[in-house]
Structure 1
Amino acid sequence: MRALTVEPGRAGSLTVTEVPEPVVGPDELLVEGLALGVCGTDREIVRGEYGWAPPGKERLVLGHESLGRVRTAPPGSGFHAGDLVAGVVRRPDPVPCGACGHGEFDMCRNGRYTERGIKELDGFGSELWSVEPAYAVRLDPRLADIGMLMEPTTVVAKAWEQVDRIGARSWFEPRRVLVTGAGPIGLLAALLGMQRGLDVHVLDRVTEGPKPGLVEALGATYHHAPADDVAARLEPDVVIEATGAGQVVFDVMAHTAAYGIVCLTGVSAAGRRLPVDAGGINRELVLENDVVVGSVNANLRHYRQAADILAKADIEWLAGLITRRVPLDRAAEAIETNEDVKVVITLDENG
């Protein structure tokens, strides 16, 4: 069968490779791969900046934003042939640490976790893949064309859960949220904010292309002015930061409402230096009981939350996030960056 593989650490090694079909254990699902979402992590791996092959192998099957259809399922698994599913990316470390031992493997404390398509486990970028039922989540059949949005939605579900848990330290009824960045994570964060009945604002630097229209169609407000100006005017109760741009991060931190929560989901590039008023930031955080928290990855609970979020969303709006689809044999085109919101690689011949 065909699979999208890369040699981690070596730029330019991405290729479609013939690999053996998966050997499916008696307690595993055999899944026909339908599509694969592409994100910044995939691009880092292709550039040779990140990623680890499975032990004893040189190449890694790429892909963690999965969508597939069950071909065979073991009796009693809760799954049946024809079910639409997504695979969970992370697996707990074998030790395990306390967090992994309690099912919170997204919060692994010793770094020995593994991840499909990223760290020591082959991903979902193949025509067939296998997965344990405990690490698969069934999707609403209506999501057959856009279910690869599941994994980025889990990231958003966890981020909002973190906001809720921090807010619960005292009375907390947020009204206004600012989302910085109108990529898939930002737009999905805005979706969840709208589902919660909040006054949602989205900030991005572009003025053309699909992003402003997607925000407006959601019922949120789009901004493209400097982050410092927008945040100062809005004074949001919650910020979901999805750009990873250092200046944006510090600008929004300085302008939340009292008892504000800033949740960072964007990963910044190391090495860039910014002049920062550290004393002023410290004063603001302490005197206003503000919180800045980082959030990454997701556990099984967040996958189930994400399945519910997508099932309740407008399917046409979700479809608008996917701005380009390419077949597996042209997968290299999906890695190229342009003005796309989300690029998808189709794995089945009818995709």
Structure 2
Amino acid sequence: MKAVAVTPGTPHSVHLTDIEKPTLDQVDDGLGVLVKVLKVGVDATDREINDALYGNAPTGDKHLVIGHESFGIVEAVGPNVKRVKPGDFVTATVRRPGGSIYDLIGTNDMTSEETYYERGINLRHGFLTEYFVDEEEYIVRVPAGLKHLHVLMEPMSCAAKAIHQAYEAQRRMKVWRPKLAYVQGAGQIGLLATLVLKLQGLEVFTIARGEGPNLKSEIVEGMEATYVSTKQTPLADLVKQTGKPDLIVDATGSSRLAFEAMEHVGHNGVVVWTGITGGDKKTEIPSDNINLDWVLGNKLLLGSVNANRTHFESGIRDLALGDMMYPGVLAKILTNPVDGLDNYAEMMRLLVEDDDALKVFVNVADE
């Protein structure tokens, strides 16, 4: 069967390859699930893997099948599978366990080991292929009523986890009731974080470079949040207008902006970093002022990567509620379909060249 892969360590090596179709007996104890892939979302992670910034092939292979945002339909299940059945729409989690205590209790996304295993990213093949098999534990059912949002399930899980982790960490405050939040970045993670925060009842300002009106501002305003262009209103000026936020979620992919957020969060507040920056860029920051303000203000910096099934499940619930609260808004994120695995070059071109490509996804097969 067809698959889109890279040769890790070799820049711009994305190619179409042929791999063996998986079978249920690849999973022990009758817990295998065979999924026919319908759609796969791609993002900056796939572009950076193709740029050879990171990513490794599974042991014994020279290639890595990419694509970590899956949506498919169950074709067959092992005899001991209980959670899903043939005909169910599903997505799959990305991180797979290592050997730490956190991996062993199902929180693979919080591993304490240096080596991590992620489908389509590191040491495990991804989903840009026709079929995949995985253990029931890593398969998450998607309601049929949400199939029009298909590949948003995985990025939504990342947004849901980031905000959940902030609330979990703030139990240290005994009482923490944030009212004002900034989201830096209006890509898919930023927009979905905006949704989660709105559903939590916060006043949300979503901050991006582009001047509105544009598609991103339309989506933000459709969720009853406020879109702010830094070309029109620098961050420092926004803080003067609103006061310091209780929570800032950075989803820009810019280390400079991630550090800048530390200058603006309020007392007892949290900054959550969700972006990954590959490179060696250096940024000058007012470290003395930040150090003083953070210690005296009891502030918290939190990194959040990936998600486990509990975050997938809570994210799916928020997508369902958000789709009812703001009808038609979330589907606008899905901007750029690419038909077929054969068109992998166009997929990568959109990721590299098209700044307006908010969400690129591949239509692998029909139901």
Counterpart-to-counterpart distance in 1, 2:268 and 2:59:
46
Q: Give 1:321's aligned amino acid.
A: I
Q: 2:322 aligns with which of 285, 310, 313?
A: 313
Aligned to 1:323: 335
How far, CA to CA, are the matches of 2:275 and 2:4 in structure 1? 26
Question: How far apart are residue 112 of structure 1 and its match?
Answer: 2.9
Shift of 1:319: 1.1
CA distance in 1, matches of 2:255, 2:100: 31
Provide the rounded CA distance (Å) in 2 between the counterparts of 1:240 and 1:172. 17
CA distance in 2, matches of 1:144, 1:300: 18
Please, which of 168, 172, 184 is the counterpart of residue 171 of structure 2? 168
Please state if 1:124 is matched with 2:133.
no
* CA contact 2:24–2:33 (8 Å) conserved in 1: yes
CA deviation string 1:42-101 (max 9, x = no partner) = 1111112221111111111111100010001123412111100011111110xx212222
Task: Identify the match of residue 162 of structure 2 among 153, 159, 162.
Answer: 159
Q: Which secondary structure does the structure 2 equivalent of 1:16 belong to?
A: strand
Q: Where in structure 2 are there 5+ consecutive unaligned residues? A: none
2:140 equivalent to 1:146: no
Q: CA deviation at 1:321?
A: 0.3
Per-residue Cα deviation, 1:265-309 (whole angstroms, up to 9, x for no partner)? 112344222221111001110111111111111112112112212
Residue in 2 aligned with 1:196? Answer: 200
Instruction: Write the distance in 2 (CA, Å) between the matches of 1:197 and 1:138.
Output: 27
- C-alpha distance in 2, partners of 1:326/1:183? 19
Matched residue, 1:70: 74
Q: Is the 8 A contact 2:24 2:78 kept in 1?
A: no
* Change beyond 3 A, Cα 1:282–1:306: same
Question: What is residue 290 of structure 1 aligned with on the other side?
Answer: 299
Using a 3 Å threshold, how does the CA distance of structure 1 residues 260 and 320 change in structure 2: closer, same or farther? Answer: same
1:214 equivalent to 2:226? Answer no
Query: Normalization by structure 2: what TM-score?
Result: 0.91
Residue of structure 1 in register with 2:348 after alignment: 335
1:207-241 superposed Cα distances (whole Å, 9 cap, x missing partner): 25311111111110000122232234331110001
Q: Distance in 2 between matches of 1:137 and 1:107?
A: 19
- Tell whether the 8 Å contact from 1:231 to 1:252 is kept in structure 2 after alignment: no
Label 1:164 to 1:67 Cα distance change in 2 as closer, same or farther (>3 A). same
Q: Which runs of 5+ in 1 are unaligned?
A: none
Partner residue of 2:4? Answer: 4
Moved more, 60-69 or 231-240: 231-240
Distance 1:303 1:276 in 2: 35
Deviations 1:134-155 (A, max 9, x none): 1100011122232211111111
Q: Could you give the per-residue CA deviations for residues 116-151 of structure 1, whole angstroms, max 9, x where no partner exists?
A: 111111111111111111110001112223221111
Identity of aligned residues (%): 36
Amino acid at match of 2:59: P
Q: 1:244 to 1:29 in 2, by over 3 A?
A: same
**More displaced 10-residue stretch of structure 1: 186-195 or 242-251:** 242-251
Q: Aligned-pair RMSD on alpha carbons?
A: 1.5
Q: Secondary structure at the match of 2:258?
A: helix
Matches of residues 1-351 of structure 1 in structure 2 within 5 Å? Answer: 1-25=1-25, 26-78=30-82, 79-93=84-98, 96-170=99-173, 171-208=175-212, 209-225=214-230, 226-234=234-242, 235-314=244-323, 316-327=328-339, 328-336=341-349, 337=352, 338=354, 339-348=356-365, 350=366
Could you tell me how far apart the structure 1 residues matched to 2:62 and 2:208 are?
Answer: 39
After the TM superposition, which of the residue ranges 203-212 and 268-277 deviates more from structure 2?
268-277
Q: Distance in 2 between matches of 1:155 and 1:4?
A: 24
Name the stretch that deviates more: 249-258 or 278-287: 249-258
Distance 1:111 1:233 in 2: 43
Normalising to structure 1: TM-score of the pair? 0.95
